[in-house]
Amino acid sequence: MTVFRDLAPGLEQAARHAPAITLTGPRQSGKTTLSRAVFPEHPYVSLEAPDVRSFAVDDPRGFLAQFPRGAIIDEVQRAPDVPSYLQGLIDADPTPGQWILTGSQNFSLVESVNQSLAGRTAVHHLLPLSRGEAIRFPHCSRNLEEVLLTGGYPRIFDRGLDPSDWIGSYIATYIERDVRTLRNVGDLSAFGRFVQLCAGRTAQLANLSSLADDCGVSQPTAKAWLSILEASFVVFLLPPFHTNLRKRLVKMPKLHFYDTALACHLLGIRTAEQLVSHPLRGPLFETWVVSEILKQRTHQGRSGALSFYRDRSGTEVDLVIEHPERLTLVETKSAATPSSGFLNTARKVAGHLQDHSACDLFAVYGGDQSQSRTQGQLVPWAQLHESALAQGV
């Protein structure tokens, strides 16, 4: 089953202007399926196959000569010289939309593309399914706990698979394999503990010193391992909001997982009953909301910096969306019963920022009633994808 993604129109538009499109994202996020669906007339080749990869590495000119009108080249980072040879072909024939390059490793792929294809390729990111995309599948969870446990990897929805079983295999097959290809980690068991520790810190400050101490490694090692998780699209770091106010703000980023199912599995959470009473239910819900908004904006090609606000007194807003003339402050509350108190902190922060920018206030919560209050909007979790937040507020 092929369900078109929100990114599809962006790829089609890019193909009308750029000679090449580079599509990155985590493994199994649907890059191959989307590329072949949007560009069905393009020849397709994957560098995962050892013989094909060997051809591309040993003879990149001969490899590319097979495709006089362009092609979809999957996992292109496995032949890092190909973009350099592609540069000459594009300069000789800059027809838009000829080459579609996909890859799962952000480090090597983006570095290679930036060096060789600057100005010649449009770079896009395909992340796991957003809620708005997931509900297009028949096998879609309707319960909040099930949504957090299921995550957003398309194959789970497409085939109606058990999320826990699939995520377990994903961790063993892809994360560990990507670790080996990205750099020499050394102690894989220690790295596994590190990933689990990161899951326990989702929606918390990314304190490298604490992570290193708890894992029994040096701080430089913890920093390198966190970079690997970022490059593999397992986690992202949400930067702190900066302003010229005199108020002292924290400078450390927040750690979030792109996919809550992955975080839940690493934490040993396998059932909705466990999640209901789990001490990290709130942080997991916060990560889900932040990652949902990030996915929606990424797939729809919308700009606007994302950050969080926390000052030295501990006053915090989970997400700040910066627009040219205003800010959107978003609080997350996993509770199911709506309360005007959900917006108290956002209102306080808006007061701090009133001379800096106008602010719109939202609280995304675990219930099912949409409410417009004097202070701002209460948005039920299941309506996040169709709320004003998803429409570019």
pLDDT tens, residue by residue, 241-273: 987 666 677 889 999 999 999 999 999 999 999
Lowest-confidence region among 135-139, 183-187, 189-193, 195-199: 183-187
**2, pLDDT greater than 70:** no
Are residues 151 and 115 part of one domain? no
Q: Are residues 154 and 264 in the same domain?
A: yes
pLDDT > 60? residue 305: yes
CA 97, 99, 104, 107 dihedral sign is negative
Same-domain status, 237 and 380: no
Residue 379 backbone phi and psi in degrees, to 5 = -115, 120
Q: Is residue 323 part of a domain?
A: yes
Predicted local distance difference test score (pLDDT) of residue 144: 96
Q: Which 3 state secondary structure label does DSSP give 347?
A: helix
Q: Is the pTM of this model over 0.75?
A: yes
74-85: per-residue pLDDT in tens? 999 889 899 999
Mean pLDDT of 190-215: 94
Are both 218 and 80 inside the same structural domain? no
Which residue in this structure is represented by tokens 């570095």? 111
| Alpha carbon distance 149, 270 (integer Å) | 7
Q: Is the pLDDT of residue 152 over 50?
A: yes
| 251-285 CB burial, b ≥16 within 10 A, e <16 | eeebbbbbbbbbbbbbbebbeeeebeebebbebbb
User: What is the residue range of 370's domain?
Assistant: 294-386
How sure is the predictor about 310, in pLDDT bands with cuts at 50, 70 and 90? Answer: very high
The alpha carbon of residue 325 and the mean position of all alpha carbons in its chain are separated, in whole angstroms, by 26
What pLDDT, on the 0 to 100 scale, is given for residue 1?
46
Report yes or no on 317 lying in a domain: yes
Tokens of 159: 């085939």
How many CA atoms, within 13 angstroms, populate the side-chain half-sphere of residue 355?
6
Question: Which pLDDT belongs to residue 105?
Answer: 67
**CA–CA gap between residue 139 and residue 130 (Å, rounded):** 14
**Inside any domain, residue 288:** no
Q: Which two tokens stand for residue 161?
A: 């698979």
Half-sphere exposure of 304 (CA within 13 A, CB side): 25
